[in-house]
Amino acid sequence: MRFLHFFGDGAARQGMLHEVFNLAMLWKLPVVFICENNNYAMGTSVERTSNVVDIYKLADAYEMPGDSIDGMSAEAVHEGVSRAIKRAREGGGPTLLEIKTYRYKGHSISDPQKYRTKEEVEEYKQRDPIAQVTDTILAKKYATQADLDAINKRVADTVAASVKFAEESPIPNDDEVYKDIYIDKNYPFIKD
């Protein structure tokens, strides 16, 4: 796979993205565009800012394949992304996937979240993808609860160590701001 491009539902209403869609289809680029649609951009619903509320349908204007995927299901996301990647690898060009998901917290710590109700948030929490995949893992005996607890502890320890490292590290030099901005073909993960 050469390109995966992630953006939010707010970015779907920016002209630059449509220029990219046009060129990607014109040149049949092997790219999967993934719109993570959590319904609210920063704090305004898609319905209030766009005539096209099913973002995957934007692909129709470019004769690009597009699909809507339940982002609250890890399995559905895996299957949908796998199909799009296979298409790109086989020379089929780009695909637009709209992953319909939800964020439980505000867009930032200063977000009062007055654009949605607590009931709405709780409704989505009942479909939490982490809880769903955990239930599947346990039901199919892919792992035990003890295995999952050990994984969660490793993750929490890694995050804590990362925070400690960041807090204890010196402030970077000013020239760091210019590093790693553009892709360098010498990076090992870029394949021709």
* Tens digit of each residue's pLDDT (9 = 90 or more) over 141-168: 999 999 999 999 999 999 999 999 999 9
Q: Are residues 153 and 142 in the same domain?
A: yes
Q: Are residues 26 and 116 in the same domain?
A: yes
Domain-located, residue 184: no
Q: Are residues 116 and 63 in the same domain?
A: yes
Flag whether pLDDT at 37 surpasses 60: yes
Flag whether pLDDT at 69 surpasses 70: yes
List pLDDT tens digits, range 90-139. Answer: 999 999 999 999 999 988 888 889 999 999 999 999 999 999 999 999 99
- Predicted pLDDT of residue 107: 87
Domain-located, residue 61: yes
Task: Look at residues 94, 125, 156 and tell me which one is the last residue of a structural domain.
Answer: 125
Q: Are residues 78 and 155 in the same domain?
A: no
Question: C-alpha distances in angstroms, 154 versus 33, 130, 138, 142, 147?
Answer: 32, 17, 19, 18, 11
Q: Are residues 71 and 102 in the same domain?
A: yes
- How many residues belong to the chain? 192
The three-class DSSP label of residue 65 is coil
Number of domains making up the chain: 2
The token pair that represents 23 in the structure block: 């060129």
Q: Domain of residue 29: give its range.
A: 3-125
State the pLDDT confidence band at 178, using cuts at 50, 70 and 90.
Answer: confident
